[in-house]
A and B are shown apart, each in its own frame.
Chain A
Amino acid sequence: MNFDLTDERQMLQDGLRRYLRETVTADLLASATGSDIGQSEVLWNGLAEMGVIGALFTEDQGGFGGAGFDLALVFEELGRVGAFEPLLEMGVLAGGLLAELGQEGIVEDIIGGTVRVAFAHAEPASRYDLSHVDATATASGDGWTLTGRKSVVIALPFATHVLISARTGGSTGDTSVISLFLLPVDAVSFRDYPLNGGGRAGELDLDGVSVPKAALIGSEGNAWDALERANARAVTAISAEALGLMESIRTLTTEYLQTRQQFGRPIGKFQALQHRMADVLIEIEQARSAVINLAGHLEADRVTRERHVSATKNLIGRVGRLVVEESIQMHGGIGMTEEYALAHLVKRLTMIDHRFGDTDYHLERFIRLSAA
């Protein structure tokens, strides 16, 4: 066993940490959310130039990483600074799916940062069920007609393209009819809005949108296996992001306990708070191990991989809530304020339990997968 980073990954981590510390300021995050696109183009282009998008893809796909530990490394660093550039949506999800389905041309542009593909999959009634697709694609003339609605499509206002899942037959929940369609973003209409935790998303209305035959990615009804694998990689990424957020929250809170004076001493001298902070530390170490477990099992057989997906996301959800609530509480009033650095981090960490399945969803799923 060896838990050390390889030399290449160590270099990437050092460089990325330094770049993000220098670049991602509170002002940059606030102005990104306040802008029409909801993101920082400077940051996105900077990450692309550093090769960070490429680190999410294997050499075969045109990148130079792509393993679970590459994802974990990149997203932990993004989490540490509370960045919300859509590397997960555009790199891991849309990019990963396009790469797996043999779209080398566009993947090259994604890695270069010039093409930005949002991923529109979840729907108003799907909650966290990956297989729930109500949107339909029907063959019409030379192409397809897409009908349905996609909810909380993250970074849609920043996208040049959108990758949409739709059923080409069957009924909702039937995984053998899920297909993917790639469209330029100006082919669809949507309403966009800001998000808790930063960035913008859109509600996508597909009201009989006609698309050419070539919009279908791969062959009809072939997307499910790739979709489930991409989802596992996305859970790895977001869990690592949560870990980075937790580490920064822990640092802020510990510093506060060391410096805030009440009753004539730093509040960190009170044993009641010391013990609770010690518990927070233990749980964050558990979270780190859970991320390592998942990152190391992405290439395992399906049941093993998916058990780790659910185990890790469940644990991250539980620890995330503990870290959020204890850090606010130990800060007292200042922890309630939007202006203080903690606010953005706790909101982002809280919202992670609202993506790719929450604590309960994955607990139930873990039980089911374990019984199989």
Chain B
Amino acid sequence: MDLNYTDEQKAFRAEVRALLADKLPTRLSDKVAGGKRLTKADYEEWHAILNARGWLAGNWPEQFGGTGWDAVQRHIFEEETTAAHAPRIVPFGLAMLGPVLQKFGNDAQKAQYLPRILNGDDWWCQGYSEPGAGSDLASVKATAVRDGDHYIVNGQKTWTTLGQYANMIFCLVRTSKDGKPQEGISFLLIDMDTPGIEVRPIVLLDGEPEVNEVFFDNVRVPVENLVGEENKGWTYAKYLLTHERTNIAGVGFARAGLASLKRIAGLEQDGDRKLIENPLFAAKIAQVEIDLMAMATTNMRIVAAAAGGQAPGAESSMLKIKGTQIRQEINALTRQAVGVYAMPFVSEALDEGVNAEPVGPAYAMPATQAYFNNRKLSIYGGSSEVQRTIISKAILEL
């Protein structure tokens, strides 16, 4: 048992820090730290900076232009970039679709799509959930019917994160109604500019149009856009979800959130003391910090096993539940910390270069928004209820 990083790992951490010090624009880190609205161009700018260094695709092998990092390196990179308030790497092409194409795509698909993901030529979004298929994802109803060299796609996808920026979508579609629901699903790549596609924004509790509904009305998709075999899409979808669940614990986000919470509690006046000196509030901060310290090690235990070649299975469900609880508690405490100034909602103050002063401290409104927005953490990517069912079946064998 050795809780220390190796010299190579420490050197790698220093390299990541050097890149962040040199190349992460203050304009971007200020926006992230201040809870401001990030634009499509902001994400693209950061992607391009990382790509120029060859560090954009942290979980791709080198042969496809990735870093070839192991799980510990990925973890270090994640930890440092979140601590430095870098924008997050948009996961849909890089973390989700890339690995699926590398494992199940044909040579033409790999050659066409992987470089475009790295170069920012395509912005992908995820067409998984439907109004009737949320936790029960296998019940997807959107259909793809073969018509010569095309599939004709009809149906609706929903909760499509940042779909308003995307030019491409990967979809789970039903190509057969025979057998179990899981057996008739295919994995299809669709150009969002194809006639018959309509994207409608969904505004969330924090007032932001983060997700979308995507409607398909007789959309013609070339058959070469099928990934792998017809009716085998469920296998690919599950493989993708295991990649979606890397860094699922969100240790870096939790640490950044805890640091921000302590800073705010140190600024807020509470009678004749600062809020951080209020024993009740200090106890709550301490409690969540203690949980985070243990969870970070749980995460490292699973990261170390993954670096040793074990695929994370149901353990990632554990990390998602605990990591979510900790992040949501930090969000709730931060909202509590800002007091009466949790109430004003001045949407324009989140934009760059707008002369709308925040009401009260600049950190107040983003604290409320983050609290509401991060209620999604226990809902998306398999709700906490679904994760508990996985644990009770796969680990406890109940």
Residue of A whose beta carbon sits closest to that of B349: A193
B59: Cβ under 8 A from any A Cβ? no
Take A128-B339, A193-B346, A332-B134 as given contacts and tell me if A272 and B385 are in contact as well, using a CB distance cutoff of 8 Å. Answer: yes
Q: Which residues of B contact A333 (CB under 8 A)?
A: 129, 134, 158-159, 376, 379-380
Which of these, A196, A261, A270, contacts B343 with CB under 8 Å? A196
For B, the interface residue count at a CB cutoff of 8 angstroms equals 47
Q: Which residues of B contact A191 (CB under 8 A)?
A: 359
Residue of B203, B341, B343 with most chain A CB atoms under a 10 A cut-off? B343
Which of these, A193, A321, A329, A359, contacts B378 with CB under 8 Å? A329
- Contact present for B360 and A196 (CB under 8 Å): no
B368: Cβ under 8 A from any A Cβ? yes
- Contact present for A127 and B340 (CB under 8 Å): yes
- Contact present for B368 and A196 (CB under 8 Å): yes
- Docked Cα-Cα span, A125 to B274, in Å, equals 11
Which of these, B205, B328, B343, B346, contacts A336 with CB under 8 Å? B205
1/0 per residue, CB under 8 A from B, across A332-361: the answer is 110111110001001100110111001110
Interface residues on A, range: 35 or more
Q: Which residues of B contact A124 (CB under 8 A)?
A: 360
- Contact present for B379 and A360 (CB under 8 Å): no
A212: Cβ under 8 A from any B Cβ? no
- Docked Cα-Cα span, A203 to B357, in Å, equals 12
Per the 8 Å Cβ criterion, residues 59-115 of A in contact with B are: none
- Contact present for A336 and B359 (CB under 8 Å): no
- Contact present for A360 and B385 (CB under 8 Å): no
1/0 per residue, CB under 8 A from B, across A144-163: the answer is 00000001100000000000
Which of these, B270, B280, B372, B383, contacts A127 with CB under 8 Å? B270
A279: Cβ under 8 A from any B Cβ? no
- Contact present for A193 and B203 (CB under 8 Å): no
1/0 per residue, CB under 8 A from A, across B337-348: the answer is 001111111100
Take A193-B344, A194-B345, A354-B342 as given contacts and tell me if A347 and B372 are in contact as well, using a CB distance cutoff of 8 Å. Answer: yes
Distance in Å: Cβ of A67 to nearest Cβ of chain B:
29
A41: Cβ under 8 A from any B Cβ? no
- Contact present for B280 and A363 (CB under 8 Å): yes
Take A127-B271, A273-B385, A338-B203 as given contacts and tell me if A353 and B336 are in contact as well, using a CB distance cutoff of 8 Å. Answer: yes
- Contact present for A329 and B375 (CB under 8 Å): yes
Take A124-B360, A129-B271, A329-B379 as given contacts and tell me if A197 and B343 are in contact as well, using a CB distance cutoff of 8 Å. Answer: yes
- Contact present for B136 and A262 (CB under 8 Å): yes
Q: Is the interface of A mostly helix, strand, loop or mixed?
A: mixed
- Contact present for A346 and B205 (CB under 8 Å): yes
Q: Which residues of A contact B158 (CB under 8 A)?
A: 333
Which of these, B129, B341, B385, contacts A151 with CB under 8 Å? B341
Distance in Å: Cβ of A131 to nearest Cβ of chain B:
10
Q: Is the interface of B mostly helix, strand, loop or mixed?
A: mixed
1/0 per residue, CB under 8 A from A, across B115-138: the answer is 000000000000001001011100
A118: Cβ under 8 A from any B Cβ? no
Q: Which residues of B contact A355 (CB under 8 A)?
A: 340, 343
1/0 per residue, CB under 8 A from B, across A267-284: the answer is 000101100000000000
Distance in Å: Cβ of A151 to nearest Cβ of chain B:
6
Residue of A whose beta carbon sits closest to that of B138: A263
- Contact present for B340 and A151 (CB under 8 Å): yes
- Docked Cα-Cα span, A334 to B332, in Å, equals 21
Take A194-B345, A353-B336 as given contacts and tell me if A338 and B270 are in contact as well, using a CB distance cutoff of 8 Å. Answer: no
B268: Cβ under 8 A from any A Cβ? yes
B235: Cβ under 8 A from any A Cβ? no
1/0 per residue, CB under 8 A from B, across A283-327: the answer is 000000000000000000000000000000000000001000100
- Contact present for B203 and A337 (CB under 8 Å): yes
B72: Cβ under 8 A from any A Cβ? no
- Docked Cα-Cα span, A71 to B280, in Å, equals 31
- Docked Cα-Cα span, A360 to B336, in Å, equals 9
Take A201-B344, A336-B379 as given contacts and tell me if A347 and B280 are in contact as well, using a CB distance cutoff of 8 Å. Answer: no
Q: Which residues of A contact B384 (CB under 8 A)?
A: 329
Q: Which residues of A contact B278 (CB under 8 A)?
A: 360, 364
1/0 per residue, CB under 8 A from A, across B121-163: the answer is 0000000010010111001000000000000000000110000
Distance in Å: Cβ of B163 to nearest Cβ of chain A:
14
Residue of B139, B203, B205, B336 with most chain A CB atoms under a 10 A cut-off? B205
Q: Which residues of A contact B205 (CB under 8 A)?
A: 328, 336-338, 343, 346-347
- Docked Cα-Cα span, A87 to B39, in Å, equals 41
Residue of A whose beta carbon sits closest to that of B280: A360
- Contact present for A127 and B345 (CB under 8 Å): no
Distance in Å: Cβ of B372 to nearest Cβ of chain A:
7
B21: Cβ under 8 A from any A Cβ? no
Per the 8 Å Cβ criterion, residues 179-223 of B in contact with A are: 202-205, 207
Q: Which residues of B contact A132 (CB under 8 A)?
A: 271
- Contact present for B340 and A152 (CB under 8 Å): yes
Q: Which residues of B contact A270 (CB under 8 A)?
A: 385
B281: Cβ under 8 A from any A Cβ? yes
Q: Which residues of A contact B335 (CB under 8 A)?
A: 350
1/0 per residue, CB under 8 A from A, across B235-249: the answer is 000000000000000
B67: Cβ under 8 A from any A Cβ? no
Residue of B135, B136, B203, B271 with most chain A CB atoms under a 10 A cut-off? B271
Residue of B whose beta carbon sits closest to that of A343: B205
Which of these, A336, A346, A351, contacts B204 with CB under 8 Å? A336
A211: Cβ under 8 A from any B Cβ? no
Residue of B129, B139, B159, B339 with most chain A CB atoms under a 10 A cut-off? B339
- Contact present for B136 and A263 (CB under 8 Å): yes
Q: Which residues of A contact B159 (CB under 8 A)?
A: 333
- Contact present for B342 and A196 (CB under 8 Å): yes
B269: Cβ under 8 A from any A Cβ? yes
Q: Which residues of A contact B74 (CB under 8 A)?
A: none
Distance in Å: Cβ of A201 to nearest Cβ of chain B:
7
Q: Which residues of A contact B132 (CB under 8 A)?
A: 261
B388: Cβ under 8 A from any A Cβ? yes
Q: Which residues of B contact A201 (CB under 8 A)?
A: 343-344
The 3 A-B residue pairs whose C-beta atoms are closest, nearest first, are A262-B136, A338-B203, A360-B280
Q: List 6 A-B contacts (CB under 8 A).
A: A272-B388, A332-B383, A333-B158, A333-B376, A338-B203, A359-B336
* Additional A-B contact list (20), CB under 8 Å, known A152-B341, A333-B158, A337-B203: A122-B340, A127-B268, A127-B340, A152-B343, A191-B359, A196-B343, A201-B343, A203-B359, A262-B139, A329-B383, A332-B134, A336-B205, A336-B376, A336-B379, A337-B204, A337-B205, A338-B203, A351-B343, A354-B340, A355-B340
Interface residues of A (CB under 8 A from B): 122, 124-125, 127-129, 132, 151-152, 191, 193-197, 201, 203, 261-263, 270, 272-273, 321, 325, 328-329, 332-333, 335-339, 343, 346-347, 350-351, 353-355, 358-360, 363-364
